[in-house]
């Protein structure tokens, strides 16, 4: 495998899943919000099955409330924040606590053009390899989501789908958790 390909591969043993601000008061306004939450929950359940740490963030939870319960239930930690970039409120330290030496972050969240964007940019500045799950992330307006994905791609993040992440985490159909993750995927429809 060449170095470029190896550097662009999502490694289940090297990373953490971060779910940004799927808050109950925000989600009804997000375009296709229920579908975005469902994909994020699927990612989190698969991550947990594969022993990948799952962290959540909540923007000003005193004002916006907590993450929706299906997301909150899958996160080993929900980091309250006031900065739009969660790195400004301890995300980097939380990543290192969850997986010492964490190099890779798969991230999804809302709003894609605000907190997700700024958090992913913060992770890139910190030297992390970042994959943004575009179809599990949302904004109120599709044009804002598209602009965020384009900007993140130009900034060095790799925009992926939830299925791309799941199958790269597994890497092989002989993975001991393959059937379990496949069942999660099929149940999600």
pLDDT given at position 171: 94
Count of beta carbons in the 10 Å neighbourhood of residue 136: 28
Q: What predicted TM-score, i.e. pTM, was given to this entire model?
A: 0.95
Query: Would the pLDDT of 4 be above 50?
Result: no
pLDDT given at position 6: 53
pLDDT bucket at 5, cuts 50 / 70 / 90: very low
Beta strands in 15-128 (DSSP E): 15-20, 54-59, 77-81, 104-109
At 163 the three-state DSSP class reads helix
At 74 the three-state DSSP class reads helix
pLDDT given at position 189: 74
Distance CA 158, CA 172 (A): 21
Sheet of 104-109, strand order: 77-81, 54-59, 15-20, 104-109, 129-133, 158-160
Query: Would the pLDDT of 85 be above 90?
Result: yes
Distance CA 128, CA 139 (A): 24
Alpha carbon of 186 to those of 39, 42, 118, 180: distances in Å?
12, 10, 32, 10
Residue in the block written with tokens 């662009």: 8
Q: Domain 3-188: state its class.
A: alpha beta
pLDDT in tens, 167-189: 999 999 999 999 999 999 988 87
Alpha carbon of 5 to those of 120, 128, 157: distances in Å?
21, 17, 15
pLDDT given at position 24: 94
pLDDT given at position 188: 85
pLDDT in tens, 89-145: 999 999 999 999 999 999 999 999 999 999 999 999 999 999 999 999 999 999 999
pLDDT in tens, 21-73: 999 999 999 999 999 999 999 999 999 999 999 999 999 999 999 999 999 99
């Amino acid at each position: 495998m060449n170095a470029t390909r190896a550097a662009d591969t999502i490694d289940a043993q090297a990373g953490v899943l971060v779910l940004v601000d799927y808050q109950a008061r925000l989600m009804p306004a997000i375009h296709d919000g229920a579908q975005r939450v469902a994909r994020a929950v699927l990612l989190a359940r698969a991550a947990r099955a594969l022993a990948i740490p799952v962290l959540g963030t909540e923007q000003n939870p005193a004002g916006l409330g907590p993450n929706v319960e299906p997301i909150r239930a899958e996160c080993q930690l929900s980091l309250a924040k006031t900065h739009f970039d969660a790195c400004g409120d301890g995300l980097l330290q939380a990543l290192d606590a969850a997986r010492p030496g964490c190099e890779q972050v798969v991230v999804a969240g809302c709003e894609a053009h605000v907190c997700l964007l700024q958090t992913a940019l913060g992770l890139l500045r910190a030297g992390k390899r970042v994959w943004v799950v575009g179809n599990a992330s949302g904004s109120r307006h599709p044009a804002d989501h598209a602009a965020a994905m384009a900007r993140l791609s130009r900034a060095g993040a790799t925009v992926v789908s939830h299925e791309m992440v799941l199958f790269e985490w597994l890497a092989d159909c002989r993975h001991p958790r393959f059937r379990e993750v496949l069942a999660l995927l099929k149940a999600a429809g």
